[in-house]
Amino acid sequence: MLVNSKQILEDAKANGYGVPAPDFFDLDSARCFVEVAEELRRPIILSFAQVHCGMGLLSLEEAAWIGRHFARKTQVPIVLHLDHGTDEAFLKEAIDLGFTSVMLDASMQSFEENVERTGAMVEYAHARGVTVEAEIGHVGTGANYDSYENSDSVYTTVEEAVAFVRQTGVDSLAVSIGTAHGAYKNARQPVLNFQRLHELGKAVPVPLVLHGSSGSGEENLRRCAAEGIAKVNVLTDFFVGAMAEIEKVGPATYLELKAAADAGMKNMLRRCFAIYQP
């Protein structure tokens, strides 16, 4: 069942749990994620990132067809979400193709420009029944992470987050509290600022989103979901899970390798549900 994110994330915020938002990158990964959601009878946010188009993995049209196809085959609520969209034309095309949620990432722009661009996108998307996520602060990369104090992240302030939501009408807000995208340098786990998360959760009226969850540690993620994060983005952990299963099985053929990779991704998503929704 294809839905937007509003009711799903508002329920998660109200009841203190997190909804997994796995990034799919081909048909198999999308199928795996929806099958696990069906198995557990829980909603998910099926995400596709704009950057994946540039990597030659899927076109936007292909991603839209795949997401709609699998979502409409199940009664479990599935959000088809465009992740980290960086230009309005691309997001509008995604909406026209059937995405039910979009993220405009203008987090590296000035506060004023982020507000202006996000507010315009909210107006466009809401008129079409689509929800909008934005980011305030900036979640950096794991490759540049040495410590909480030494990273390329820009941490979210409560004052800017509250003002941003009020001025844009955005439906959910990605915040920076110490995580980073991709694998962490030297495989270290980040130190997260839970005090800031508590302050944001109390002051910001819309559901909060965590980017860069992969490799952040189960206890950190369990606390995030219980203490204010309603949506948890995941990608790198699925690559890790797929490779672990491939190495464990030692497939002799290409089809066996694909089956092992799918099993590894499914196991990782089951683990995510167990962490975010105990």
**Catalytic residue positions?**
83
Q: Which helix (H) or strand (E) holds 64?
A: helix 60-72
Q: Which helix (H) or strand (E) holds 83?
A: strand 78-85
Q: What letter represents residue 35's amino acid?
A: E
Q: Which of 112, 188, 116 is nearest to 150 (CA)?
A: 188
d(CA 130, CA 91) in angstroms, rounded, equals: 11
- Give 210's strand partners: 175, 232
Instruction: Count the neighbouring beta carbons within 10 Å of the beta carbon of residue 157.
Output: 18
Q: Show the tokens assigned to 245.
A: 């299963």
- Residue 82 CA, distance from chain mean position: 9
- Give 141's strand partners: 181
d(CA 270, CA 215) in angstroms, rounded, equals: 16
d(CA 19, CA 21) in angstroms, rounded, equals: 6
